[in-house]
Chain A
Amino acid sequence: MSKELRIIGFLCNWCSYGGADTAGVGRFTQPTDLRIVRLPCSGRIDPLFVLKTLTGGADGVLVSGCHPRDCHYSEGNFYARRRLEMVKRFLPVIGIDPGRFEYTWVSASEGQRWQTVVRGFTEQIHALGPIQRFGKDAAATAAQLAASHA
């Protein structure tokens, strides 16, 4: 794969972080673009984490929690699912490809599944390429657009 991109993963402590650990212990090789932030629950993930991360320059954001019905706190991921779906659907209106954000469920025992998820998501982000950072070169972008319309 080409040059490393910046992908941020928000993982819940109980399932997905364990799953990533299991993948490591099992020596399942993975691309190295992902940087993990561990959180107590996917329900802790404020949609603004995703928006701030993407507009702050990350090329992709991955959220992973416990499978529905398996949440350590019973309901955290159910609330998360609605919010995360909303934030994914919001991205197009601000000009960010919704493919730069995905959320999924990986349990602590699913080392293999974790490998598949990381590989798949990293490939997807590489296909999209580096993000155009919001606010960077705003003037240049505007001039370029104006020129293309002229």
Chain B
Amino acid sequence: MPILDELKAAIAKRLPELDVVIGWGKGFDALHHTPVFITSEADLDKLELGPLSVQNLATYLTRYPKTKKIGVVVKGCDSRSVVQLLQEKLINRENVVVFGFPCEGVVDLEKVKRALEGQGMEIARVSEATFQGERCTLTTGGKAGSLPMADLWADKCNRCQYHDAVMSDEFVGQRLDRKAEDAYADVAAFEAKPLAERQAFWQEQMSRCIRCYACRNACPLCVCRDQCIAQTREPNWVSQRTGVEEKFMFQMIHASHLAGRCTECGECERACPVGIPILLLKRKNNKEVLELFDYRAGIDPEAKPPLLAFKVEEEKINERGW
């Protein structure tokens, strides 16, 4: 049975006990899936699953009261967000049903756009997209072009260690049991540049920020919402001025508040309308968390996030070493 049908069957089975199930459905064009909210069996036809199912639907879990019974379809990386939310008691285990599947990966539409431009095609005009094994076939204006999938996977998929959901109540399909390496080479490469160049890089990048806070709103672990300190006036952490310092201050807030919690779903960066590579800041913190505390966020629902804990004798902190 195709995996989508298996998923539909699994959801149909659990639907009677749930208020809503969140999955992906067809979007506004051939290259987009959009979140769909399933409340009846008739809605099941809307479901889609595949390399365009990019959104991390765990983001929606904290938008409902904790008493609602919610089902959510998750990729491996998204499942870590659910686990992290459980670790922080932001959701109720009894009221959430997790549907997992073996995720092959998602495409980075920026890469699709660039690849198409390379062939003189426009992404906005793609009327049909099919993904088959190693290749992706795209039709624009009656003309079909084919691109190798290897060039299109999101960066996070190329270093994915959790294709299969780390936690699920219903798992459909065969586990992939695949695991790439991730030694944070991107962070190391960036930090090999001179300090002034790193600062100039962020200044230049952040000068494009329009302070839409899409990065925050897409993040499954940014749960303060209306209480976000970026928008409080007392204290006034970030002023209304439009300087690059204000914009960057927000990214430092986001990175700091996600330290030891960020599950690297990459949604912050994907949601950014001006393509600022802000995942790098979060990966930097994750690299340090891994080195210092031997910890990855969102793996074990019982584990305590390292910045909510301490040891009287810290093994790897040398606080007097300067």
B203 near A141 (CB under 8 angstroms)? yes
Instruction: List the count of A-B residue pairs having beta carbons below 8 Å apart.
Output: 125
Please report the C-alpha to C-alpha distance between residue A133 and residue B197 in the assembled complex, in whole angstroms: 13
A52 near B256 (CB under 8 angstroms)? no
Q: Which residues of B contact A141 (CB under 8 A)?
A: 196, 199-200, 203
Query: Is there a chain B Cβ closer than 8 Å to A97's Cβ?
Result: yes
Given A95-B197, A95-B198, A104-B320, check contact A90 B204 (CB 8 Å). no
B284 near A134 (CB under 8 angstroms)? no
Central interface residue in A48, A84, A86, A92, by most chain B CB within 10 Å: A86
B191 near A69 (CB under 8 angstroms)? no
B207 near A82 (CB under 8 angstroms)? no
Query: Is there a chain A Cβ closer than 8 Å to B306's Cβ?
Result: yes
A92 near B198 (CB under 8 angstroms)? yes
Query: Is there a chain B Cβ closer than 8 Å to A4's Cβ?
Result: no
| CB closest residue in chain A, given B203 | A138
Quick one: CB contact mask for B203-216 with A, threshold 8 Å, 1 for yes? 11001000000000
A145 near B197 (CB under 8 angstroms)? yes
Cβ-defined partner of B248 (8 Å) among A55, A84, A97: A55
A135 near B252 (CB under 8 angstroms)? no
Quick one: CB contact mask for B273-297 with A, threshold 8 Å, 1 for yes? 0000000110011001100110000
Query: Is there a chain B Cβ closer than 8 Å to A17's Cβ?
Result: no
Query: Is there a chain A Cβ closer than 8 Å to B60's Cβ?
Result: no
Query: Is there a chain A Cβ closer than 8 Å to B27's Cβ?
Result: no
Chain B residues with CB under 8 Å of chain A are 187, 190-191, 195-204, 207, 237, 243-245, 248-249, 252-253, 255-256, 259-260, 280-281, 284-285, 288-289, 292-293, 306-307, 309-312, 314, 317, 319-320, 322
11 A/B residue pairs, CB under 8 Å, sorted by A: A47-B259, A48-B252, A48-B256, A69-B312, A81-B317, A82-B317, A92-B191, A134-B245, A135-B243, A142-B203, A145-B196
Chain A residues with CB under 8 Å of chain B are 47-48, 51-52, 55-56, 68-69, 75, 78-79, 81-87, 89-90, 92-97, 99, 102-105, 120, 124, 132, 134-135, 138, 141-142, 145
